[in-house]
Amino acid sequence: MKFTQQDIARIIGVDTKTLRNWRRDKPELYRRVMLSFRYEEILLALKNQYEEFKKIGDNLH
């Protein structure tokens, strides 16, 4: 699931403008926030792939 900056700001409880300011003024903080959301996306994708592989394996037996 892709999040917009507006989604991310709402989820972490800041204004969208604050998030944009972090991008400009606090790039390391902004990078870490973005990485945490990317991490969640990757985990969800891996979970979905695992479930698909499991279905395929179950159908082979």
The pLDDT tens digits along the chain (61 residues) read 688 999 999 999 999 999 999 999 999 999 999 999 999 889 999 999 999 999 998 888 7
Q: What is the pTM of this model?
A: 0.71
Task: Classify residue 16 by burial, with Cβ atoms within 10 Å: 0-12, 13-18, 19+.
Answer: middle
